Amino acid sequence: MGPLPTSLCLPFSLPPTPIPPDVLRVILEDSPPQLRHVCLGAGPGSGGRSGCQASEAPFSLLPTQLSLTGHLQLTLYQYKTCPFCSKVRAFLDFHALPYRVVEVNPVRKAEIKFSSYRKVPILLAQEGDSLQQLNDSSVIISALKTHLVSGQPLEDIITYYPPMKAMNDQGKEVTEFCNKYWLMLDEKEAQRMYSGKEARTEEMKWRQWADDWLVHLISPNVYRTPAEALASFDYIVREGKFGVVEGAVAKYMGAAAMYLISKRLKSRHHLQDDVRVDLYEAANKWVAAVGKDRPFMGGQKPNLADLAVYGVLRVMEGLEAFDDLMRHTHIQPWYLRVEKAIAEAPH
């Protein structure tokens, strides 16, 4: 069912831009002993955990015009059916943050040609004359939440989540982001956010679980059989930004390819023969962690872990895997509560 992480993403790392001392002190005090690994060499040119090396911020040539009005103008570049993008939308919607959506063509990716970082989601945030690019769903969420709670400028906040080059399990170089599950808050701000240190650690642990385990159960389940793969790609083509010919090719060739790839993913992530079992176990593990005495992991309202798990699972709505999940686990009441909380967020 997937082990819980023993450390939260990368250990907390000091970015090149100094974190305010009162914020850093709270972070170190709130860290359980196994997380008190502060990487003093997180700046450019230094080594980090697992051979990580700092890289330049992966963006360039930002678009100059955003059409939204308001104090914070947001544009989300996404694939609608991507679980990481769904996480960001769940966060934005729950916090009633207006944003413009740009659906990215998954073949040409012309919409994000301005960016050397080629994954979605990408969020552009304009605050006055300052225009910032935020990459990685968890960085986007942590940075925006820090901004909402503390009022620190996003321009400063994003420097606390430096990009690092790392090698993944397949030996491929990837960009990882330090500190991405941390909110950069001082003591008073942290006390407003959390009932205690345990609540903060719990939220981070399950946010990482959503990224490191839950998300890897989606593809093997929605592409489990040829019929499910075809239904999934029919949905992807309908919701995504495809041309007529591209859509027809993607539906059939994509479904066939992802059916085969899902078998490799099943092996890579050591899933059981029936991948539904892993999905059901993960859902029930989450429900058990929330417990019977609170409606959400965040207590009376969803926290960032609730929104992350909900966002990941939501991309399966309308598919056989989602119906099976609701029918064969205990997750539906919690899922519907989060859905209702997002729908009722003040706008």
**Residue in 9, 52, 82, 178 annotated catalytic:** 82
- Cis, peptide link before residue 32, omega less than 30° from 0: no
Helix (H, G, I), strand (E, B) or coil at 260: helix
User: Catalytic residue among 9, 39, 52, 85, which?
Assistant: 85
Rounded CA-CA distance 147/153 in Å is 7
CA distances from 105 to 20, 233, 250, 311 (A): 40, 14, 12, 21
Tell me if residue 79 is catalytic.
yes
186, 157 Cβ separation under 8 angstroms: no
Catalytic, out of 12, 79, 160, 235: 79
Q: Would you call 84 a catalytic residue per the annotation?
A: yes
Q: Is 94 a catalytic residue?
A: no
- Catalytic residue (choose from 84, 160, 161, 242): 84
- Structure token pair of residue 314: 């939501």
In whole angstroms, how far apart are CA 171 and each of 17, 55, 211? 30, 18, 19
Give the three-class secondary structure for 134. strand
**Phi/psi of residue 218, each to 5°?**
-70, -60
9 carries an active-site annotation: no
How do strand 99-103 and strand 73-78 relate by DSSP bridges?
Answer: parallel
* Among 19, 50, 30, 308, CA closest to 158: 19
Would you say 63 and 79 are in contact if contact means Cβ atoms under 8 Å apart?
Answer: no
Question: Nearest CA to 85 among 112, 50, 51?
Answer: 112
Q: Burial of 188 by CB count in 10 Å (0-12 exposed, 13-18 middle, 19+ buried)?
A: exposed
Alpha-carbon torsion angle 254, 257, 260, 265, nearest 10: -80
- Cα distance between residue 313 and residue 325, in whole Å: 9
Q: In angstroms, rounded to a whole number, what is the distance separating the alpha carbons of residues 120 and 136?
A: 7
Catalytic residues: 79, 82, 84-85
